[in-house]
Chains A and B, each alone.
Chain A
Amino acid sequence: MAANVKENSLCKKHRRPSDIILQIVIYICSALVVALTLGMIIFIVIRGCEGMSWNFLSTPAFSYPYENYGVLGNIINTLYLVVITMLVATPIGVGAAIYLTEYAKQGRLTQIIEFTTETLSGIPSIIYGLFGSVFFYNIFKVNYSILTGALTLSIMVLPTIVRTTQEAIKTVPAGYREGSIGLGAPKWHMIRTVVLPSCIDGILTSVILSIGRIVGESAALIFTAGIASEINISSIGDIFSKVMTQGGSLTVQLYQYAQRGGAELKYAFSTALVLLITVLIINIAAKLVAHSVRKKRG
């Protein structure tokens, strides 16, 4: 009797050896993930600091008549690409998502569209680059331009925006819609005042994911936006005419520095450091925006 009580004791842990082994394996796996990520970041920071200087951040790269290592031109080009791409892709993507979830009759056509967008998001980016360079050359008759690059990137990020926004719209509670429609609100009014505000988190997330992809993209840009790193802005008009000129992004510049190797390799790491920090800032900004939106709604 006494032994029986002991065996059923709540305090006694029954641990099987397989449990212990599995737990150790899981610990090792997660430790590896953390160590790899941290190791890589530390490596990039250390190597990146070698070539980092105020001059590197504040001047563009050029190789004629004398060498200068900088990324300012590429930072500006990247900003151009981000802004133009998002200005083009966000309204189209959100609009398409609204149509697909709110207006389109659920059926074969919407299934095909959804399947296509999913497939599109899995296509290697260099294919977008190849397509964009030929397609937009026929429209603009310019070999390389920031606009061509941005439009190519727009096509590339559209599926992400459409799918993420669709999922966000689907999570809006039916009660909100019924409440709005029940008050006599026309459909578009309901979408504008109730549906979109309550899935703004999701839309912002998709925008931020897309910005991350744009900042990190290189393959689709080499054929389309080109590799130039000059700033070429001396008047207000230049700000706009710049979009029709060639402009390499940070990643493309990284590629060039790394390609030449040797002493220039450290500048590739410095560029990588700038990219890392940019991505970090974007992620923090995303969290802050989502947080403030949520707070505003209470």
Chain B
Amino acid sequence: MEPLKNVKLSTKNVNLYYGENHALKDINLDIATNKITAFIGPSGCGKSTYLKSLNRMNDLIPGCKITGQFLLDGEDIYAEGVDTNVLRRRIGMVFQKPNPFPMSIYDNVAYGPRVHGIRNKSKLDQIVEESLKAAAVFDEVKDRLNKSALSLSGGQQQRICIARAIAVQPEVILMDEPTSALDPVSTLKIEELMNSLKEKYTVAIVTHNMQQATRISDYTAFFLVGEMVEFGETEEIFSRPTDKRTEDYITGRFG
């Protein structure tokens, strides 16, 4: 495969250890701007760990050690003096389990902008509305913005979480198996949403579901026990995998 153009996030020789456990081994991977990159692989292969290292969520885990180079638009995100709060505003995250805060729908979406100092009510109103629209959930909740976000269905909650991530105007959105806790209808809605998201954002998604990867992603990386086995255009990976292990996995021989 030719080198990617328009690389948003570039990682080189990434190694990650949880204590003694060598969880990521020499990962070299680039993520292209305004594309969806999917990470697939069996449980425990390191795909989620890798995703979380992209906005330094692993910093919260004691005993986690990371080496290698992570460049966001050419800037090292693990360099000394990097403000992780700014980093996480630029690289947002949507989690596996919908995790809206126990507050109103409005306050959930306005949370990020408020963190970053936006206090103006009409500005916040505008951000909340735009974000909810972009997350394709506005019509369903517009009459009850002041109701608790926990009263919504799982699929709606996850779209609220996507709206919440969008509200801080990130450049990259990381999604960690965002539909694994949802029913097929909600999953479909989120997949449709992702296609519109990539117009404005760069998306990296971890998924357990290979069909999902083929449906939504432009590029796919296959992980296996801490190694990145193969990376390429999704179509290529799924139709003509070059590595035997990739082929075995996508044809369902294991995993």
Contacts and interface: CB of A to CB of B under 8 A. Distances in A.
Given A175-B95, A175-B97, A183 B102 contact: no
Contacts of B100: 179
B85 A184 contact: yes
A181 B60 contact: yes
A177 B101 CA distance: 9
Interface in A249-298: 297-298
A182 to B, nearest CB: 4
Contact of A183 (B97, B115, B147): B115
B103 interface: yes
Contact of A182 (B55, B62, B151): B55
B148 A183 contact: no
B115 A185 contact: yes
A298 B108 CA distance: 14
Given A186-B85, A297-B148, A298-B147, A180 B57 contact: no
Contacts of A179: 95, 99-101, 161, 164
Interface in B70-92: 84-89, 92
Main SS of the interface on chain A? helix
A184 B116 contact: yes
Interface in B110-129: 111-112, 115-116
Nearest to A194: B101
B190 interface: no
Nearest to A183: B112
Nearest to B96: A175
Given A176-B101, A197-B103, A298-B147, A184 B95 contact: no
Contacts of A238: none
Contact of A184 (B103, B147, B148, B168): B168
A122 interface: no
Interface string A47-58: 000000000000
Interface residues of B, number: 31
A182 B95 contact: yes
B102 A198 contact: yes
Interface in A169-220: 173, 175-186, 189, 193-194, 197-198
Contacts of B141: none
A274 B84 CA distance: 56
B99 A184 contact: no
Contacts of A186: 85, 115
Contacts of B85: 184-186
Contacts of A198: 101-102
B93 interface: yes
Central interface residue in A179, A183, A298, by most chain B CB within 10 Å: A183
A186 B117 CA distance: 12
A197 B103 CA distance: 9
B165 interface: yes
Contacts of B87: 184
Given A184-B116, A185-B115, A298-B151, A175 B103 contact: no
A272 to B, nearest CB: 41
B150 interface: yes
Interface string A146-185: 0000000000000000000000000001011111111111
Contacts of B151: 298
A183 B97 CA distance: 16
B176 to A, nearest CB: 10
A297 B108 CA distance: 12
B102 A298 contact: yes
Contacts of A178: 57, 60, 93, 95, 99
Given A175-B95, A176-B101, A178-B99, 16 more contacts: A175-B99, A181-B60, A182-B165, A183-B89, A183-B164, A184-B112, A184-B115, A194-B101, A198-B101, A198-B102, A297-B102, A297-B103, A297-B150, A298-B102, A298-B148, A298-B150
12 contacts: A175-B95, A179-B100, A179-B101, A180-B115, A182-B93, A183-B112, A184-B84, A184-B86, A184-B87, A184-B115, A198-B102, A298-B151
